[in-house]
Amino acid sequence: MKTQVGIIGAGPAGLLVARILQLNGIEAVVLERRTRQYVLDRVRAGVLESGTVETLRTYGMGARLDREGIPMRSMQLCWDRQKADVSLDDGTGRHLTTYGQQKIVEDLITQRERDGLPIIFEAAVDRLEDIEGETPRIHYTHEGEQKVIECQFIAGCDGYHGVSRRHIPGSDEHVFLTEYPFAWLGILAQAAPLAARRGFAHSTRGLAVASARSATVGRLYLQVEPDADPNAMSDQEIWDELDLRLDDGTDARLNRGPIIERSVARLRGYVCEKMRHGRLAIAGDAAHIVPPSGGKGLNLAVGDARIMAEAIRRLLKSNDTGLLDTYSEMCLRRIWPTVHWACSMCEAFHIFPGQTSFDTRMQYQMLNHWGNTEIGQQRLRKAQLGLPYEI
Ligand code: FAD
């Protein structure tokens, strides 16, 4: 098979690159190793920066988002049985929006299918060939057969465990990694989220987070051991633990309901600074992982996808490699400050093995700074609303 751009991965990064290319008259094939249903059901991120929302609107993906997205205009921090509700209003009208990642993925997939454009599910990419030439090839397995796509550019949007990154020569020498000694148990529950019980909580029992996916569905997290079994706690134990950790000294308690999804994700910070070689570039989780404490992974993936699609457009339409040559540097100008913020949140809210009461007091100081001082609130607001795009 031949196409202009071979895109590996039907996550938000790959699907958005495909959409932007389509609107610029560039052909692409998306290869995804999972089934269609698996991709549609995968529950992950849910907090969108206004830049992400604007990007999705610009490329015709805003209709359901505008109907169902829930504006989030403040952020609650809770620690030591007290709470700060920090306004996210920076005078520009920007705010965050709650809209599940799987809805974005569904919107992009159904639009692509409606437009009659190819996404090949259950197509696992094994290796890439000739990325330094003008017609790189993608080798993949589909329906038990080995197949090849010949293209003019490869977009590696295949997440942290994908194959693209390792095809960038010497990429290991450009990797920066930190592994945190804990994980998040994430649950999706049919329980109306409570305005008085949301946001991030520091507790000596470990972090807890309460957020909304809709008016009737809550997304909540507990800090757990890195290798925790997601099914180890009963529903009641999870709700009891959440209420204990989210205690802000008031009588408010979470609304409880059936837990419909659970997963455990390890926390790490990871950046591969070499994001392009020849006619291969990587975007999103293929290039970087941020701890979910900042709500930034999806937003960063969208930022990379915008730059990647424009760089490919300039290459294929005008034979201009200028943006491609600076692709890594431009992406990294948004990636590193965002990773820094997500890691700062991570370090302020979690209990670390061997943590002393002194360490906990230091965390309280940080949280008091973000929650109760003008300069700290400005920092939090700016970081949560997200960095501007250069392109
Ligand atoms: P992905 O969404 O990972 O998509 C990559 C795709 O490539 C996948 O569909 C995968 O199946 C496919 N693929 C991989 N290898 C191959 C191959 N060899 N061949 C073909 N296809 C392949 N971020 C937040 O901002 N807030 C959150 O609350 C949050 N929660 C999260 C919870 C969990 C459990 C996880 C895992 C992540 C979470 N994230 C969160 C991060 C966020 O979901 C990611 O940053 C986002 O999905 C990145 O999008 P992506 O398109 O780069 O990668």
pLDDT digits (tens, 9 = 90+) for 1-51: 999 999 999 999 999 999 999 999 999 999 999 999 999 999 888 999 999
Centre of ligand 1 from the C-alpha of residue 11, in Å:
6
Element of type H or E holding 53? helix 50-58
Say yes or no to pLDDT of 198 above 90.
Answer: no
Centre of ligand 1 from the C-alpha of residue 285, in Å:
6
Say yes or no to pLDDT of 294 above 90.
Answer: no
Kindly state if the Cβ of 252 falls inside 6 Å of ligand 1.
Answer: no
Centre of ligand 1 from the C-alpha of residue 195, in Å:
29
Kindly state if the Cβ of 294 falls inside 6 Å of ligand 1.
Answer: no
**How many Å is the maximal CA-CA distance in the chain?**
65
The pLDDT score that the predictor gives to residue 249 is: 87
Kindly state if the Cβ of 107 falls inside 6 Å of ligand 1.
Answer: no
CATH topology of domain 180-267+354-385: D-Amino Acid Oxidase; Chain A, domain 2 (3.30.9)
Say yes or no to pLDDT of 197 above 90.
Answer: no
Say yes or no to pLDDT of 224 above 90.
Answer: yes
The pLDDT score that the predictor gives to residue 196 is: 84
Domain with CATH 3.50.50.60 in the chain: 5-72+96-176+269-345
The pLDDT score that the predictor gives to residue 94 is: 96
**Residue nearest (by alpha carbon) to ligand 1 atom 2:** 11
Mean pLDDT estimate for the chain: 97
Position in ligand 1 atom list of the atom nearest CA 283? 52
Centre of ligand 1 from the C-alpha of residue 332, in Å:
19
Extended beta strands in 163-240, E state: 175-189, 199-202, 208-212, 218-224
Kindly state if the Cβ of 303 falls inside 6 Å of ligand 1.
Answer: no
The answer to ipTM > 0.95 is yes
Kindly state if the Cβ of 36 falls inside 6 Å of ligand 1.
Answer: no
Kindly state if the Cβ of 242 falls inside 6 Å of ligand 1.
Answer: no
Domain with CATH 3.30.9.10 in the chain: 180-267+354-385
User: Coil, strand or helix: which one is 19?
Assistant: helix
How large is the average pLDDT for residues 89-108? 96
The pLDDT score that the predictor gives to residue 335 is: 98
The tokens for 365 are 């100081």
Percentage of the residues of the chain whose pLDDT score is greater than 70: 100
Say yes or no to pLDDT of 208 above 90.
Answer: yes
Which residues, 6 or more positions from 200, have their beta carbon under 8 angstroms from its beta carbon?
Answer: 75, 76, 77, 78, 207, 208, 209, 293, 345, 349
How far apart (Å, rounded) are the C-alpha atoms in residues 195 and 173?
A: 46
**Residue nearest (by alpha carbon) to ligand 1 atom 15:** 162
What count of Cα atoms within 13 Å lies in the side-chain half-sphere of residue 166?
7
How far apart (Å, rounded) are the C-alpha atoms in residues 64 and 80?
A: 39
How far apart (Å, rounded) are the C-alpha atoms in residues 128 and 136?
A: 7
Centre of ligand 1 from the C-alpha of residue 147, in Å:
24
Residue range 119-146, pLDDT digits in tens: 999 999 999 999 999 999 999 999 999 9
CATH topology of domain 5-72+96-176+269-345: FAD/NAD(P)-binding domain (3.50.50)
Kindly state if the Cβ of 209 falls inside 6 Å of ligand 1.
Answer: no
Select the more confidently predicted residue: 198 or 69: 69
Which residues, 6 or more positions from 144, have their beta carbon under 8 angstroms from its beta carbon?
Answer: none
Kindly state if the Cβ of 158 falls inside 6 Å of ligand 1.
Answer: yes
**Confidence label for 338 from pLDDT (cuts 50, 70 and 90):** very high
The pLDDT score that the predictor gives to residue 155 is: 98
Kindly state if the Cβ of 43 falls inside 6 Å of ligand 1.
Answer: no
Name the residue of 167, 298, 346 to mutate for ligand 1: max ligand atoms within 8 A of Cβ. Answer: 298
